Amino acid sequence: MQFAMPAAPVEKSCPLARLLGWDTLRGLAAFLVVLLHAGIPYMVNPFPHLVWPARDTDPSMTVDAVVWCAECFIMPLFFVMGGFFSQGLLSSRGKRKFLVGRTKRLLLTQLAVGVVILPVCLLIWTLGWIGDGILTPSQVLQLGFPAEIWNDLWGNSHLWFLQYLYVYCLGLCGISWLRKRLRSADCSGPIRDPRFVCCVDAILGSVWKPLLPTIPCAMILYYDPRIVLGFYQTFLPVVSKLAYYWIYFFVGACIYRHRTKLHLHARYGWSYLVLSGLIFSVTLPLIREHLSPHPTGENRLLLAGLLSLFAWVTTFGLLAVFLNLQLDTKVTRYFAEASFWVYLIHLPLVVLTQIAIVQLPVVTVGKYAIVFVVTMTLSLASYQVFVRNRWLGEFLNGQSRVKGPQLSGPIPLSPQPILAVLPLQPSVDRKKAG
């Protein structure tokens, strides 16, 4: 995601200016994660190696398609945005402050939330299996879980994203340190060569830019399709999965480094999204064939390529559309601020609701809607009561309990070069002067 001409130097004290459309997209992406998890019991082709209670006896093809669509692009989108903003924070704060901030926001949050959330999830899961008749209370007390449950029961659950993002931030710092050492040894290295910069700009500004990162991603998925078409429940990162999502994170960081041509990413957005719909219509039958009881494996390479291409085209499309959509309303700001808390807290609420309505005489799509609405309502209510403008919100989001000055307006997306790092105070002064 970027282009020609090295970024202008900025002072390290300058914070990231808000990309208002991407703030909105960040909130929307968190809600899509809830939408994904809300539909898991109602899928025709569920995720392999994902243990889940309250499976519905009447799965829905519609819900199945919605869940697989979200699954194939939502994490790539998160990691591209994570790479962009992580590189911005590293550039503005320096390596030491960046690592301290990422350790607090990602590593410590994962540990603190995991200590609370993961045992609650385990309790809710076991209650669901008892209700389904899969387990008995005595089996639970004796940890006598069936092998198909036990083997995929222990891990970071949905908090794996924080772990991987933290590892990538460490890698980003390592690359920054290495680049600095190489520069000091040879100031004419390829990174500073204008021809190299122009080449990267040309790639990131081209309509064909999704094709280049699709190739390594497809190679990894061909080797290990379980990264997308399944689930890894582990406490330590999986090498293939780590490599796959690193590509998205790295591209996001590259976009930031070439942010002077960020306006070029506002092109092709709707065209990409239309194309992604066509790609998914071809990919979904291949996913279902791959997950069938007797897959042939003949289309594995084609499936890996389409999965990767769909993820990149959709990601670039959404980034472009929301880059143009510079919304700045109280609603969009609220959802963006609440998105991190929703991501952390939603999973036990989703499953508890699914268990509660498993016997409800409602069509499957109706159950799906109920789970989503109830989960979002409870998540946002808990954010309002326990997090917003409180010490917990300050810990999770770095929010101050007393709000300080904000930027006076959106970043202009004109053909003129723009920066994603701008001084905060002059904007405020101009607003007051006007």
Domain that holds residue 71: 20-433
Question: What pLDDT is recorded for position 333?
Answer: 86
The answer, yes or no, to whether residue 22 has pLDDT greater than 60, is yes
Q: Assess if residue 11 is contained within a domain.
A: no
| CA quadruple 130, 136, 140, 143: dihedral, nearest 10 | -130
Q: Assess if residue 148 is contained within a domain.
A: yes
Q: Assess if residue 409 is contained within a domain.
A: yes
Q: Assess if residue 3 is contained within a domain.
A: no
Q: Assess if residue 276 is contained within a domain.
A: yes
Q: What is the DSSP string of 113-133?
A: HHHHHHHHHHHHHHHHHHHHT
Q: Assess if residue 268 is contained within a domain.
A: yes
Q: Give 30-60 pLDDT, tens digit per residue.
A: 999 999 999 999 999 999 999 999 999 999 9
Q: Assess if residue 8 is contained within a domain.
A: no
What is the average pLDDT value for the chain, to the nearest integer? 84
- Looking at this protein, which amino acid is placed at residue 367? K
Residue 16 pairs in a beta bridge with 421
d(CA 9, CA 423): 12
Domain total in the chain: 1
- Residue 99 has a CB neighbour count (10 Å cut-off) of 18
What's the predicted TM-score (pTM) here? 0.86
Question: What pLDDT is recorded for position 340?
Answer: 93
- Residue 13 has a CB neighbour count (10 Å cut-off) of 10
d(CA 360, CA 377): 20
Q: Assess if residue 12 is contained within a domain.
A: no
